[in-house]
A = this chain, B = another copy of it.
Amino acid sequence: MPEPIQRPPGTRDFYPLDLARRRYIENAWRTTSIRHGFDEIDGPTFEHTHLYAVKSGPGILSEIFQAFSGKDDAQRAQATAGHAPYALRPEFTPTLARMYAARAGQLPKPTKWFWQSSCFRAERQQRGRLREFLQWNCDILADDDHTRADVESIACCVDLLSTLGLTPQDCSVRFNHRGVLADILRACSVTDEHMDAAFILLDRREKLDNQALENQAFEFGLPQGDFPDFHQFLCRPRARNNATPTTIAQELANLPHGTAAHPSIAGPIVALDKALQNADIADWCTLDLNVARGLAYYTGMVFEVIVDNERAVAGGGRYDKLIETFAGPPTPAVGFGMGDVVLSLILQDKGLIPTDQQISRDLGLRTDAFVLSNGTPEADALVPNLLARLRRLGLNARRSYKTTKNIGKLLKDAADADARYALIIESTTELTLKDLDNNTQTRGQIDAQLDSITP
Residues of A within 8 A of B (CB): 1-8, 11-16, 19-20, 22-23, 31, 34-37, 39-48, 50-51, 54, 61-72, 76, 79-80, 82, 84-88, 95, 98-99, 101-103, 109-110, 113, 118, 120, 122-123, 132, 143, 148, 151-152, 155, 159, 275, 278-281, 324-327, 364-365, 367, 381, 384-385, 387-389, 391-392, 394-399, 401
**A11 vs B385: C-alpha distance in the bound complex, in angstroms?**
42
Chain B nearest Cβ from A283, distance in angstroms? 12
Chain B nearest Cβ from A404, distance in angstroms? 13
Question: A5-B326, A82-B70 are known contacts. Are A41 and B16 too (CB-CB below 8 A)?
Answer: yes
By secondary structure, the A interface counts as: mixed
Question: Which residue, of A44, A98, A123, A279, has the highest number of chain B Cβ atoms within 10 A?
Answer: A44
Chain B nearest Cβ from A319, distance in angstroms? 16
How many copies make up the complex? 2
Closest 5 pairs between A and B when the two form their complex, measured CB to CB:
A11-B44, A16-B39, A69-B122, A37-B398, A4-B327
CB of A109 within 8 A of CB of B76, answer: no
CB of B71 within 8 A of CB of A7, answer: no
Chain B nearest Cβ from A268, distance in angstroms? 17
CB of A40 within 8 A of CB of B23, answer: yes
Chain B nearest Cβ from A152, distance in angstroms? 8
Question: A64-B70, A70-B65 are known contacts. Are A151 and B7 too (CB-CB below 8 A)?
Answer: no
Q: Which residue of B has the minimal Cβ distance to A109?
A: B401
For residue A384, which residues in chain B have a CB less than 8 angstroms away from its CB? 148, 151-152, 155, 275, 278-279
CB of B396 within 8 A of CB of A5, answer: no
Question: A42-B19, A398-B37 are known contacts. Are A327 and B2 too (CB-CB below 8 A)?
Answer: yes
Which of B31, B34, B45 contacts A132, CB < 8 Å? Answer: B45
Chain B nearest Cβ from A64, distance in angstroms? 5
Question: Which residue, of A15, A394, A399, has the highest number of chain B Cβ atoms within 10 A?
Answer: A15
CB of B388 within 8 A of CB of A35, answer: no
For residue A12, which residues in chain B have a CB less than 8 angstroms away from its CB? 43-44
**A43 vs B15: C-alpha distance in the bound complex, in angstroms?**
8
For residue A19, which residues in chain B have a CB less than 8 angstroms away from its CB? 39-42
Q: Which residue of B has the minimal Cβ distance to A368?
A: B35
28 A-B pairs with C-beta separation under 8 A: A2-B54, A3-B327, A4-B101, A5-B50, A7-B44, A7-B47, A8-B44, A8-B46, A11-B44, A13-B41, A16-B40, A35-B395, A35-B396, A35-B397, A37-B367, A39-B365, A44-B132, A45-B45, A45-B118, A45-B132, A46-B65, A46-B132, A63-B70, A66-B79, A68-B84, A143-B401, A152-B384, A278-B381
Chain B nearest Cβ from A175, distance in angstroms? 16
Chain B nearest Cβ from A96, distance in angstroms? 10
* Besides A4-B327, A11-B44, A35-B397, 4 other A-B contacts (C-beta < 8 A): A7-B43, A70-B82, A72-B122, A279-B387
Chain B nearest Cβ from A450, distance in angstroms? 14
**A383 vs B41: C-alpha distance in the bound complex, in angstroms?**
26
CB of A41 within 8 A of CB of B68, answer: no
Q: Which residue of B has the minimal Cβ distance to A42?
A: B14
For residue A46, which residues in chain B have a CB less than 8 angstroms away from its CB? 8, 11, 65, 88, 120, 132
For residue A39, which residues in chain B have a CB less than 8 angstroms away from its CB? 16, 19, 365
Chain B nearest Cβ from A48, distance in angstroms? 6
Which of B101, B324, B401 contacts A110, CB < 8 Å? Answer: B401
**A70 vs B63: C-alpha distance in the bound complex, in angstroms?**
6
For residue A365, which residues in chain B have a CB less than 8 angstroms away from its CB? 34, 39
CB of A65 within 8 A of CB of B76, answer: no
**A101 vs B80: C-alpha distance in the bound complex, in angstroms?**
35
Which of B23, B68, B95, B326 contacts A4, CB < 8 Å? Answer: B326
For residue A397, which residues in chain B have a CB less than 8 angstroms away from its CB? 35-37
CB of B82 within 8 A of CB of A80, answer: no
